[in-house]
């Protein structure tokens, strides 16, 4: 466990990062927090929102604020797995094959509109995200550290999209949903981005060694046994809500997995670190739970018929479970 004074000393190192990113992204503090939680916990983040809400700009801006190698892949229906991870090239002179690395060999990888490509291409990222390695032919190659996938997607209701496979979705630690900005924020966007010169260059605000130091500090945030038990209750209540006195029978087809419990623990610790606290409270759990669980719950047709969403079911669990 890191001493609270150390947490208070290290947390201000993120302030230049916040200032740099917020100089481009207006009114998106929750989005920035979500991306930082992914960075601090070595987890991948899925961003969802309708077109035109600056999902790609957000990822580009975060990558610019980091002194790390960045790569972007535009997912399209005709994309091939080799376009993501790389391929083998035959050399007729020597008769050998050489490996040409794909864009996945970077520290920060933007998978733009990931649900525009078929499942076989989406799955090309699966080994990379889960194992931090890729296999090309007979060669298994390690990916650089840190390795962070930020994927954007449009809602499934939009034409020309493909639902992500369950295994792929579960590899994302967080799913952050971007909504329309407030009226005041949208006016500020017009003032800042309404001209022809809309690109804003920002210098790197966080070095790789600083990020690693912050990761270790966030990982060492203290979690009391009662708070861990509360996290487990939240997870188990999504599986068997009746056991916790919740009237949600038949609404959840598949509850959160053990991997979700691990992700909730790590995200809650990172959230506590972001507010400069050396220990996790139930409020940290409540703040992290929606982004951790919304893409891991499989709701029933009955819930869909009642126009319920995973977020609303998670909120019911958080509102009704007793807090330690």
The CATH number given to whatever domain includes residue 236 is 1.10.8.80
3 state DSSP class of 236:
helix
Higher pLDDT, 126 or 251: 251
308 beta partners: none
Residue 45 lies in a domain: yes
Q: Is the pLDDT of residue 171 over 90?
A: no
pTM across the whole model: 0.88
- pLDDT for 158 equals 64
Tell me the C-alpha distance between 313 and 96, whole Å: 56
Residue 199 in any domain: the answer is: no
- Strand 96-101 relative to strand 133-136, pairing: unpaired
Mean of the per-residue pLDDT values for the chain? 86
Question: Same domain for 172 and 66?
Answer: yes
Query: Are 23 and 95 found together in one domain?
Result: yes
- pLDDT recorded at residue 92: 83
Domain range enclosing 45: 4-193+204-214
Query: Are 123 and 42 members of one domain?
Result: yes
Our count of domains for the chain comes to 2
Q: Which of 262, 256, 254, 253 shows the shortest CA–CA distance to 236?
A: 256
The residue ranges of DSSP E strands in 207-261, in sequence order, are 252-254
Q: Is the peptide bond before 54 cis (omega within 30 degrees of 0)?
A: no
49 in the same domain as 145: yes
- Structural domain contains residue 60: yes
Measured between its terminal Cα atoms, the distance across the chain in Å is: 21
The CA distance from 252 to 314, in Å, is 10
Question: Is 90 a domain residue?
Answer: yes
pLDDT tops 70 at residue 194: no
Those residues whose C-beta lies under 8 Å from the C-beta of residue 116, and which sit 6 or more positions away, are 75, 76, 77, 154, 160, 161, 162
Same domain for 18 and 131 = yes
CATH number, domain with residue 188:
3.40.50.300
Range 134-152 burial, b when 16+ CB lie within 10 A, else e: bebeeeeeebeebbbbbbb
Mean pLDDT of 146-161: 79
Would you say residue 211 has pLDDT above 80? yes
What is d(CA 161, CA 76) in angstroms, rounded to the nearest whole number? Answer: 10
283's CB contacts (< 8 A; 6+ apart) are: none
Q: Is residue 228 part of a domain?
A: yes
Residue-level pLDDT at 262: 95
What's the confidence (pLDDT) of residue 250? 83
Span 254-271, average pLDDT: 93
Contact (Cβ atoms closer than 8 angstroms) between residue 156 and residue 115: yes
pLDDT above 80 for 54: no
Same domain, 82 and 208: yes
pLDDT of residue 172: 92
8-state DSSP, 144: P
**Would residue 198 count as lying in a domain?**
no
Q: How much of the chain exceeds pLDDT 90, in percent?
A: 31
In this predicted structure, what is the pLDDT of residue 99? 83
What tens digit of pLDDT does each residue of 2-50 get?
Answer: 566 778 788 888 988 888 888 888 888 888 899 999 999 999 999 988 7
What value does the mean pLDDT take over residues 282-292?
Answer: 95
88 pLDDT more than 90: no
User: Which run of H or of E encompasses 35?
Assistant: helix 29-40
Task: Indicate if 18 and 96 belong to the same structural domain.
Answer: yes
Please state, in angstroms and rounded to a whole number, the distance separating the CA atoms of residues 246 and 239: 11
Confidence of residue 149 (pLDDT cuts 50, 70, 90): very high
């Amino acid at each position: 466990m890191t001493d609270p004074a150390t947490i208070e000393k290290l947390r201000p190192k993120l302030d230049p990062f916040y200032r740099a990113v917020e100089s481009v992204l207006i009114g998106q503090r929750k989005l920035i927090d979500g991306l930082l939680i992914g960075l601090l916990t070595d987890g991948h983040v899925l961003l969802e929102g309708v077109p035109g809400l600056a999902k790609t700009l957000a990822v580009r801006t975060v990558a610019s604020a980091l002194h790390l190698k960045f790569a972007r892949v535009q997912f399209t229906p005709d994309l091939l797995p080799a376009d993501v991870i790389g391929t083998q090239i035959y050399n007729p002179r020597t008769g050998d094959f050489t490996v040409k690395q794909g864009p996945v060999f970077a520290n920060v990888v933007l998978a733009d509109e990931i649900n525009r490509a078929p499942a076989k291409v989406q799955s090309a990222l699966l080994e990379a995200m889960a194992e931090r390695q890729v296999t090309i032919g007979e060669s298994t190659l390690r990916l650089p550290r840190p390795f962070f996938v930020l994927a954007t997607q449009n809602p499934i209701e939009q034409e020309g999209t493909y639902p992500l496979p369950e295994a792929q979705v579960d590899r994302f630690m967080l799913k952050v949903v971007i909504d329309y900005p407030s009226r005041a924020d949208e006016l500020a966007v017009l003032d800042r981005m309404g001209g022809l010169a809309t690109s804003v260059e920002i210098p790197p605000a966080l070095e790789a060694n600083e990020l690693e130091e912050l990761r270790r500090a966030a990982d060492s945030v203290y979690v009391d046994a009662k708070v861990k038990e509360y996290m487990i209750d939240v997870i188990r209540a999504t599986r068997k809500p009746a056991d916790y006195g919740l009237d949600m029978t038949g609404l959840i087809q598949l509850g959160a997995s053990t991997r979700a419990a691990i992700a909730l623990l790590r995200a809650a610790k990172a959230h506590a670190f972001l507010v400069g606290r050396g220990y996790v409270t139930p409020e940290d759990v409540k703040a992290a739970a929606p982004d951790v669980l919304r893409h891991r719950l499989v709701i029933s047709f009955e819930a869909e018929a009642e126009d319920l969403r995973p977020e609303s079911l998670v909120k019911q669990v958080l509102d009704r479970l007793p807090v330690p």
